[in-house]
Structure 1
Amino acid sequence: MEAWSVPFEHALPVRAFASYRRQRNLPGLWWSATTGGHVGYESWLERDHVMLLDFDPAVVGISSQPFWLFWSAANGRPVSHAPDYFARRDDGMAVVIDCRPAERRGPRDCAKFEATEAACASVGWEFRLLGAPDPVVVRNVRWLAGYRHPRHWVEPVASLLREVFAEPLPLMDGAAEAGDPLAVLPVLFHLLWSHELTVDAAVPLHGGSLVAPGVSR
């Protein structure tokens, strides 16, 4: 149970991210608005999921490849696994995440994921095995992520937008009411990213999308 109190959300990756010519997966770094730093990923699937973690208002900390797990298989062979992500929620709960498309989960992968889930359960952590996320949600959040940096919080525009959208209103109607859309829209998208304002991310984002009051992150 000692692992419960370890702040793994601040951990550095326990292994390097491989990078080589003709590599099938594409590693990189995601700048996280949640942490103010970079979080690594090893594939576009991992990038999408770390982006969604960054967008989740209940997540207050994220790290990649946070720790090693070691155990012995049924035949006595030593096995190790480093989960893809560790996330800390605002209620203190720890969430350990592995990302793998369902069609690419072989028997050895499944055995590792099952062992990881059991290890998490033993210390009261949540474990998530994630495949491909909803493409519409990913597309919408990826757009909003372009405005996730705090530099897009501009006053008095931000306060004016919260007044304009105090009652639900179509996105472009509210933007036009607040001023020049060229100046207003980046701030509006930042407020949607930070959940100061809300929109249904499960349907394609467009000028008529209904924007409503949200909550402060």
Structure 2
Amino acid sequence: MPGFLWSSYVVSAGWGWLVEAEDFWLEYVNGRGELHSGPFEAMWSTRFEAAGQVRTFPSYRGQRNFPGWYWAATSGELVGFESWVELGHLMRLDSEPDVVAVASQPFRLSWRPGDQARRISHTPDYFVRRRDGTAVVLDVRPDDRIEPEDAVKFAATAAACAVVGWDFERVGVLDPVLAANLRWLSGYRHPRVRREPVAAGLRAVFTRPWGLLAGARAVGDPIAVLPVLFHLVWCRELAVDLQAGLLSAATMVRPASAVAGEASGDADASEAAVAG
């Protein structure tokens, strides 16, 4: 397995069991609906961002969660979600420039902890492919809904991911202001909203921070301009602090390059501080 040293075992102090790395088993469904399975060490290089759902969402009378499908502008594909919490994170991922594809219920991972006979299995919520080729496996679960057995599964999945160089994240409920702003902006995510002459005018206007509505009016009729402005914010071509408050006429809009420069400066300052 080029690029990785597949160790003979994986240990997580958080759950206290020793699992042979070779014992991790993976199942997934390809784009044609065919089930494939094999040792994780032999399957990890699969393009899981193009996989089908290995697990379908249940539907029954009295159901309290709200499953559905979300059209991802990033890939032009429908991606499943099983709750409003998952939908919030789908929108967040879809708006991030470094994300190129997201797959729901991408694979089922199973393992036998210690000397137990029964295998434990877990299906992560999402597989995320970044623009640089790296990957993130994502589980969405509110903090107050994590049972001990869930924590065990998350820890084992994180350990398996670490062996092959994937990141693993367990995320909870999105900040409500961020979630509300993403819901609004997602209505303008489709490329058909973009009108390039208007987009060019907006980029020229917002070379410095300016109020959202004032900047839109400087380009033209807000009825025609605002949808394009919201699209550019969604695509991160213009920058807004989406956690500072709900979008309004007075929201400050800045060039994305200024935000990137600030982030780079903060990172450099942090590195200098660590270096001492």
TM range (shorter): over 0.9
Structure 1 position 201 matched with structure 2 position 242: yes
- Normalising by structure 1, we get a TM-score of 0.95
**What one-letter code is carried by the residue in structure 2 that aligns with 1:211?**
V
Q: Tell me the distance in 2 between the aligned counterparts of 1:195 and 1:167.
A: 15
Deviation at 1:5, TM superposition (A): 2.7
SS of residue in 2 equivalent to 1:5:
coil
Which residue, out of 250, 256, 261, partners 1:214?
256
Structure 2, unmatched stretches of 5+, are 1-40, 258-276
**Which portions of structure 1, spanning 4 or more consecutive aligned residues, are displaced by more than 3 angstroms?**
1-4
Q: Which amino acid aligns with 1:207?
A: A
1:25-36 equivalences under 5 Å are 25-36=65-76
Equivalent residue for 2:55?
15
Q: Kindly indicate whether residue 128 of structure 2 is the aligned counterpart of residue 87 of structure 1.
A: yes
How many residues are aligned here?
215
- Structure-2 separation of matches of 1:97 and 1:104: 16
The secondary structure found in structure 2 opposite 1:157 is: helix
> 8 Å contact 1:3–1:123 — kept in the other structure?
no
1:72 maps to 2:112: yes
Counterpart of 2:85 in structure 1 is 45
Give the alignment's Cα RMSD to 1 decimal.
1.3
The 1:31/1:187 distance shift into structure 2, 3 A limit, reads same
| Contact map agreement 1:13 1:64 (CA 8 A) in 2 | yes
**Of 126, 129, 143, which aligns to 2:167?**
126
TM-score, structure 2 length as denominator?
A: 0.75
Q: Residues of 1 paired with 2:249 and 2:44: CA distance? A: 45
Cα distance in 1 between the residues matched to 2:196 and 2:113: 58
After superposition, give the CA deviation of every residue in 1:26-82 in whole Å (9 maximum; x if it has no partner): 100011010101100111111111111111111111100001101113432211111
- Is 1:172 the counterpart of 2:213? The answer is yes
Q: Which residue of 2 aligns with 1:145?
A: 186
Q: Deviations over 1:98-138 (max 9, x none)?
A: 01111111111111111111110111110000111111111
Is 1:109 paired with 2:150? yes
Distance in 2 (CA, whole Å) between partners of 1:2 and 1:201 is 41
Q: Is the partner of 1:148 in helix, strand or coil? A: coil
**2:266 matched to which residue of 1?**
none
Residue equivalent to 1:188: 229
Question: What's the counterpart of residue 97 of structure 2?
Answer: 57
**Higher gyration radius (CA):** 2
